[in-house]
Each structure stands twice: as C-alpha cells, then as structure tokens.
Chain A
C-alpha cells in the first residue's frame, strides 16, 4: 500500500478503516540467503537497500526486542556531513544526499527538515580549525559557510553572544544539515524492506553463531537455529557482546550517552546549534521541545541510563550558550549505549570468519549515518567488496596505523 495525500483524505472520510499494518510479523524460516542481526536503523536500512538496490532475495532481520527500540529511538535526531577527514567526509556526504531523497525513496514521511546546523566559534584557533573543516567539506561536495557574529545574532537572537569568557566569534554553518523524525526512519525502512519480501523477525535474540571450519553457517536464536549464507551484524552498543559469541574482541568500548528534552516551547531555535567551548548541542523539535545532549558519562556501561554529574555538565553548557534554557523545565532524559571505537570512526567490514560481516563502532554519530551505513553494508554483503565511500572503515586500520581520528584523541574511546 502506497501512502499519499489522496489516501489520507480517503481514509479520513471513511473512518480510517483501510489502513493495514506497515510490516508483517512472519515466522522465521529455516534458512535465508542473508541474515541481518539488529532491527535498528542501520540493520533495517541494510535490509532495505539489499532488497531494493542490490536485488537480493531471502533476507531476514532478527531483532531481540522490537524494531527501533535502541539508539535509533534514543538519539538527538541530527543529520549533517561536517567532517574533516578523507576517510569520513565522502561517506557522510553520501549519507546526507540519501537523507535528502529518502522520503520519496521509501514513501514514508520521516519529517526530514534541513533547518541547518551551526558550529559556534569562540576563539581564533577555533576559527582556523573550522575554516579548514569548511574547506574540506566543500572539497568533498558538501556545503559550508562561515557566518559572522552579526549573521548569527539575526538568526539566533537567544544565543549568549556576549559571554565574557566564551563570546561567540562566528560559526561554521551547514545549511543542508538538520533534523529527522528518528522513529519514522526505522519504520520507513522496515516498511520498505518488508514490502520487498524481507522477513522482519522481532523478539528473536541471537544467542550464538554456528561456525564450522572458519565459515559461519547461521545463527542460534531464542527461536531456534536459522541457517544463512551470509550474516551481517549491526547491533551498535551490543557489538562487543554479540561478537564475543564468535570469539572476537573488538576495538571498542560501550559507553552511555544521555540526551534530554524540555517541555514544549514557542519557536526559539530555528536550527541545530553546537557550543564550541563545551560539549552541548541543541535543536528544537517540531513539538517545541528543546532536544539537547553533551558528553558521554565516560565509563563503560550497558545500563542505558546515566548519572548526575554529566547532567550538570550538559546543563552548564546549555546555560552558558543559551541562558533562556534555564527557564524551561526538563521533560525527559534518557541514555543509550554507544559502541565507541578506538579512533571515533566506524567499521563496515568482513570479519576473519567466512560469511560473517560486521557494521558498528558508530560512537555517538550513528544516526546521521543510517542511510549510508545501510547502503554500504548492503554493498559489502551483496558484492563482497566495500562501497567506494566506505573503503577506510576496515578492522585492520588499527593494526596498520590507518586510524581515522577526527578528534585527534588517540585510543581513548570515552574522549571521542
């Protein structure tokens, strides 16, 4: 069933009795050509592009809970491609281009809003760094513009531009960046994949891999063994936990990242802003809530909830750059588990086990990468070679010294 404006009006006039479930609830079959573990944004996108772009058949997505219940439902919904390094920028620009056509592509309203993202500058050194970053972005076909304080004041009158310690000296804007209705991304991909024959199997936890003679033959699950030609893992914060079942150790630590939303307010923030002198970023949802976040809690965690020192730190950042936020009441706060890699960049690669593929290490930048991550992982699964924009995301880059360390922090996952 295709969604359209006409369909909405027709259903409105006939009591909304013609809507059907957006995806099926199939029983797992005994064998699939390709199994994707993880029914989050990346896993569902992978299945969608496998079926749509790479014409693969007999695909299943296995999800231990319900689809979209992990980080795709827990992030701060920001999309952007303002990266510096060669290994990253073409990939994230590819992702942003996919975002731009996504709603038409999968026929689902994901409320993609290119309201722009603005990285604020507070010092001369930071201006130099951001000019360089802007140039790197433009070299890779992305858009970037340096804004003056006057331009920023006009667009964002509520920002504290005159702070004595960290005055705003300008900003790097990417006007094509913005926000997306994050749950709709999971649902849109799920519906698109399902309608092309992908089996989305929820409440099906993978408990182990069946590996014989260095080849992965399938997965053991809470609903029995399921055979597979190829198995792709896309489970974000649970990556180490899952891959340990294949006796793999990953270059990753799992950390908790908290996010926050205020009560609904009149429009105050037209785009996404990031504070340059502390870790704080904020946008306003279409319902009016200020959606914001900051640093990781900083210690390994699988708890999906954080502690208070980081709440204080994030709110201090918010008060410094957006003092009006102090009058808003906090509506909700939550935590998600990030697969923080050793250089802050992801991995989309084969493993040393034949037929077992891995997609993870997204740190806390996985949401914006969802379409390209799915596309590139589908490319790898279908063709057994990396997509041209994802050639740097290999397991062996740590051993070879080919790290993609955007922040220059070294092998300290909690600092990326």
Chain B
C-alpha cells in the first residue's frame, strides 16, 4: 500500500507503524464519574468496520508524524490522509 503523506508525498506503508482506530485520539476524561467504564471502552472496544475506517499510522521510519488515514478495509483503498495533529486540533484539542 502507498500512503500519500501530506508533507512527504507517496510513501510505502512499510515505513509506518499501525496503531488502529483513530478514535484513540479522543482520550476520555479521567476525572469523569464514568471514567472506569469510559477507559475500558476506549482501551478495548472497537467498531472494526468492514469498509471505510479512520485509522492512525505512525511514520516511524520517516518524519515520525502521526497520520489519520481513511482506508477501506475491504479493498485496502485509501481515500484521505490527514495529519493527526490537525484532526485533533479540529476536535478542540490544544496539542
């Protein structure tokens, strides 16, 4: 698979480390009353869809940036690649 890195252009997926569902960006609030349940769901439960999937790829053998890649798990086709930082900021995260 070739991943179109927003800064570096097309890169071989073998340069990346895969971290799974991009919902891992949305870390639960540890001070919430439901934190134990929230962290269990965050840590262990996954949608695992057959089809389009937003997922985290870490460019470990490259510029060490985190990407959110939208990829089809049925065909391995990639439709969108964003910097994970931009995605996190767009959801209100400060860093």
Q: What is the interface of chain A, defined by CB distance below 8 A to chain B?
A: 238, 240-241, 244, 249-254, 298-303, 307, 309, 342, 398-399, 411-414
Contact = CB atoms under 8 A, between A and B. Distances in A.
Contacts of B55: 299-300
Contact of B73 (A250, A298, A301, A398): A301
Contacts of B43: 342, 398, 411
B47 interface: yes
Interface size class of B (residues with CB under 8 A): 20 to 34
Contact of A301 (B12, B21, B76): B76
Contacts of A253: 20-21, 46, 48
A342 B44 contact: yes
A300 B12 CA distance: 17
Nearest to B50: A302
Nearest to A396: B40
A240 B18 contact: no
10 contacts: A249-B46, A251-B45, A253-B20, A254-B50, A299-B13, A299-B55, A300-B55, A307-B13, A342-B44, A398-B40
A294 B76 CA distance: 20
Contacts, number: 71
Contacts of A241: 48-50
A240 B13 contact: no
The 7 closest A-B pairs by CB, nearest first: A240-B48, A309-B14, A398-B44, A249-B45, A302-B50, A251-B44, A299-B18
Name the residue among A238, A240, A244, A302 with the largest chain B CB count within 10 angstroms. Answer: A302
B94 interface: no
B73 A303 contact: yes
Given A300-B20, A303-B75, A252 B48 contact: yes
Contacts of A244: 47, 49
A8 B44 CA distance: 52
A252 B48 CA distance: 7
- The dominant DSSP class at the A interface is mixed
A413 B46 CA distance: 11
- The dominant DSSP class at the B interface is mixed
Interface of B: 1, 12-14, 18, 20-21, 37, 40-41, 43-50, 53, 55, 71, 73-76
A303 B74 contact: yes
A307 B50 contact: no
Given A301-B76, A414-B20, A254 B48 contact: yes
B46 A309 contact: no
B73 A300 contact: yes
Given A240-B48, A253-B46, A309-B13, A413 B20 contact: yes
Given A301-B76, A303-B74, 17 more contacts: A240-B49, A241-B48, A241-B49, A241-B50, A249-B45, A250-B48, A251-B44, A253-B46, A254-B50, A298-B18, A299-B55, A300-B20, A300-B73, A302-B50, A303-B73, A303-B75, A309-B12
Contact of B48 (A300, A307, A411, A414): A300
A250 B21 CA distance: 13
Nearest to A410: B43
Nearest to B14: A309
Contacts of B41: 249
A342 B45 CA distance: 8
Nearest to A306: B76
A300 B13 contact: no
Contacts of A414: 18, 20
A33 to B, nearest CB: 30
